[in-house]
């Protein structure tokens, strides 16, 4: 039985190799993609572009602008001359933060007016990170600026109330790559496994060669396993390659056990290949299979917790997310790599993926038997 399966697997691998573009897409492209995409997400809330409308034009206002520019989070790029120009910069998305320094800034600052100097900050709320963090950053800058200018210690400015200090556990530097790279590792493995598995049977069906395969002495389970193995091997190879790139190229920490990561990844690949095989057996044409896979990929990516955390989804969607192997594995990989989670902590994810694998193959086998 094993020999039969391996024969079929070998045939599939030879077929895969014939397609030159396919080899390119399976091996070169994922790595390139990872390298390319990792640059984007490295920074996060850094270097927000700021436009300052300085109506005061004094030493004090220029010092404040320099203080804003000196932060890691903000970068003063534009100096509009009037209000319309400032608003246009924000509207166009050139500037993410707008700061207006009023004409009476210096006078009010040194208490020649009756009220404190008012600074107006305009934040672009169409991007969430800017909208939620820009104001806090500015307030911090202003606090330090005041203390610095008036030669006061921070205590002298103590007005009471509550101060909140924020810390990110497991990722003290708020490095976004630690989040995006493991997510991409999972996503790229997912798409490779899914696509190879989904086009396996239906391609033979469409080209009319499935009949020939059925006429061979291969039995049904052998046929299904033999067809699935190449997808598993290719995806596993991709996973190992990308894991090496992440660890060696980007210094992402590995806080859990590699054996646990490897084991769960293999299980994940099996679950995804089962999903793909099921699509392949159920579809009549490749176009159908591929469109289903594409839709599935879009849906699963949105449910995966990458774009928004699962607990923020409405109830129905949280339920659906529990049915997605991609979501389980994304959660699991972050837990193992970054938080050093151990087997008992991620047990329910493993259980879910095992269930998907068993059910997927069982249904595929049933359908296939009926088809024949």
Partner 1 sequence: MLVAFAYLFSFDTIHIPFAYYDGDHSVASQQLLMALTTDRRLRLVGAVAGYEDLRTAMQAGRVRIGLVIPSGFGADLVAGRTATVQLVGDGSDPITAAVQMARLADRITEWGLPYRRWHPTIPIDVRGLVWFNPYLRSSHSMVPALLAIVLILPGMAVALALTREKELGSFESLAATPVRPVEYILGKLIPYLVYGLVGAFGAVAVALVWFRVPLRGSVLDLAGMTLVYLLATLGVTTFVAGFMATQSTALRAVLLLFLVPSVFLSGILLPVDPQTRLTAETLPATHFVVIARGIFLKGQSWQALGRPLFILMLMALLSLSLSVLTLQKRVD
CA distances from 290 to 126, 195, 229, 273, 282 (A): 34, 8, 20, 14, 12
Calpha distance 213→126 (Å, rounded) = 55
Sign of the dihedral through C-alpha 245, 247, 248, 249: positive
Q: With CB under 8 A, what is the number of residues at the site for partner 1?
A: 120
Q: At residue 79, what are phi and psi to the nearest 5 degrees?
A: -125, 75
State in angstroms the smallest separation of the CB of 362 from partner 1: 25
**From residue 124 to residue 143, what is the string marking binding to partner 1 with x (rule CB under 8 A)?**
xxxxxxxxxxxxx-xx--x-
**Residue 174 near partner 1 by CB under 8 A:** yes
Return the DSSP state at 27.
I
List own/partner pairs for 125-128 with CB under 8 A and 24 or more apart: 126/93, 127/96
Near partner 1 by CB under 8 A: residue from 2, 3, 36, 84: 36
Q: Which of residues 199-218 bind partner 1 (CB under 8 A)?
A: 199, 203, 206
State in angstroms the smallest separation of the CB of 334 from partner 1: 5
Q: Which stretch binds partner 1 (CB under 8 A): 29-37, 65-73, 211-219, 233-241?
A: 29-37
Q: Which stretch binds partner 1 (CB under 8 A): 123-131, 238-246, 271-279, 359-367?
A: 123-131
**Residue 161 near partner 1 by CB under 8 A:** yes
**Taking a C-beta distance cutoff of 8 angstroms, is the pair 83, 55 a contact?**
no
State in angstroms the smallest separation of the CB of 263 from partner 1: 18
Pairing of strands 48-54, 97-101: parallel
State in angstroms the smallest separation of the CB of 241 from partner 1: 15
Sign of the dihedral through C-alpha 281, 25, 38, 133: negative
**Residue 334 near partner 1 by CB under 8 A:** yes
Q: Which of residues 294-313 bind partner 1 (CB under 8 A)?
A: 294-295, 297-299, 301-303, 305, 307-309, 311-313
**Pick from 261, 257, 270, 226: nearest CA to 242:** 261
**From residue 182 to residue 201, what is the string marking binding to partner 1 with x (rule CB under 8 A)?**
--x--xx--x---x---x--
**Residue 285 near partner 1 by CB under 8 A:** yes
Q: How many CB atoms lie within 10 A of CB 101?
A: 23
Near partner 1 by CB under 8 A: residue from 59, 92, 153, 370: 92
State in angstroms the smallest separation of the CB of 320 from partner 1: 8
Calpha distance 228→244 (Å, rounded) = 25
**Residue 93 near partner 1 by CB under 8 A:** yes
State in angstroms the smallest separation of the CB of 266 from partner 1: 21
């Amino acid at each position: 039985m094993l020999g039969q399966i391996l024969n079929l697997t070998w045939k599939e691998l030879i077929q895969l190799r014939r397609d030159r573009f396919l080899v390119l897409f399976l091996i070169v492209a994922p790595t390139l993609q990872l390298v390319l995409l990792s640059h984007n997400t490295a920074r996060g809330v850094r270097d927000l572009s700021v436009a300052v409308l300085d109506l005061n034009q004094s030493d004090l206002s220029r010092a404040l602008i320099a203080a804003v520019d000196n932060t890691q989070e903000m970068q003063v790029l534009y100096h509009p001359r009037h209000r319309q120009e400032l608003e246009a910069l924000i509207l166009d998305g050139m500037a993410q933060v707008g700061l207006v320094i009023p004409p009476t800034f210096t006078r009010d600052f040194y208490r020649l007016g009756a009220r404190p100097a008012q600074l107006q900050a305009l934040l672009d709320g169409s991007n969430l990170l800017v909208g939620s963090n820009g104001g806090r950053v500015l307030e911090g800058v202003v606090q330090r600026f005041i203390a610095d200018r008036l030669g006061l210690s921070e205590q002298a400015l103590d007005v009471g109330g509550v101060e909140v200090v924020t810390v990110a556990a497991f990722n003290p530097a708020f490095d976004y790559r630690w989040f995006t790279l493991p997510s991409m590792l999972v996503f790229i493995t997912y798409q490779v496994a899914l696509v190879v598995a989904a086009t396996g049977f239906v391609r033979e069906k469409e080209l009319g060669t499935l009949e020939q395969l059925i006429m061979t002495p291969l039995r049904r389970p052998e046929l299904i396993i033999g067809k699935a193995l190449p997808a598993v091997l290719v995806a596993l190879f991709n996973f190992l390659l990308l894991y090496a790139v992440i660890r060696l190229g980007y210094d992402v920490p590995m806080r859990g056990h590699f054996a646990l990561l490897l084991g769960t990844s293999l299980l994940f690949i099996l679950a995804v290949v089962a999903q793909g095989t099921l699509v392949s057996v159920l579809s009549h044409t490749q176009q159908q299979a591929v469109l289903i896979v594409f839709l599935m990929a879009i849906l699963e990516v949105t449910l995966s917790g990458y774009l928004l955390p699962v607990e923020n989804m409405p109830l129905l969607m949280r339920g659906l997310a529990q049915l997605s192997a991609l979501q389980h594995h994304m959660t699991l990989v972050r837990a193992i790599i970054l938080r050093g989670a151990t087997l008992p902590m991620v047990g329910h994810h493993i259980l879910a993926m095992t269930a998907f694998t068993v059910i997927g193959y069982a249904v595929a086998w049933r359908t296939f038997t009926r088809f024949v």
